């Protein structure tokens, strides 16, 4: 069965939001969440562009991205 979801964990650094792939070795950053969403799509698409990589990892032809964002309780 193919996997349909690529997961990313989002954290806030000093100046940038950082998205790290949970089950793929993909990391990207941006100053805004809107730009980060675009960067995640681009980075994941580039990583899976080689169909052999996608197939080896068990991803479907058109996976979706799910993000989790860390929000510190105490800042």
d(CA 69, CA 6): 14
pLDDT of residue 40: 97
Q: Domain 3-68, what fold?
A: TTHA1013/TTHA0281-like (3.30.2390)
Q: What percent of the chain has pLDDT over 90?
A: 64
Assign 3-class secondary structure to 31-59.
CCHHHHHHHHHHHHHHHCCCHHHHHHHCE
Comparison of pLDDT for 2 and 59, the residue scoring more: 59
Residue with tokens 């681009």: 42
pTM score of the predicted model: 0.87
**pLDDT tens, residue by residue, 35-69:** 999 999 999 999 988 878 888 888 888 899 999 99
DSSP 8-state secondary structure symbol assigned to residue 1: -
């Amino acid at each position: 069965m193919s996997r349909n979801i690529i997961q990313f964990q989002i954290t806030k650094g000093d100046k940038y939001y950082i998205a790290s792939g949970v089950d793929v070795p993909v990391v990207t950053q941006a100053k805004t969440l809107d730009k980060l969403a675009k960067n995640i799509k681009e980075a994941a698409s580039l990583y899976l562009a080689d169909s052999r990589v996608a197939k080896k990892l068990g991803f479907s032809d058109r996976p979706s991205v799910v993000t989790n964002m860390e929000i510190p309780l105490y800042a």
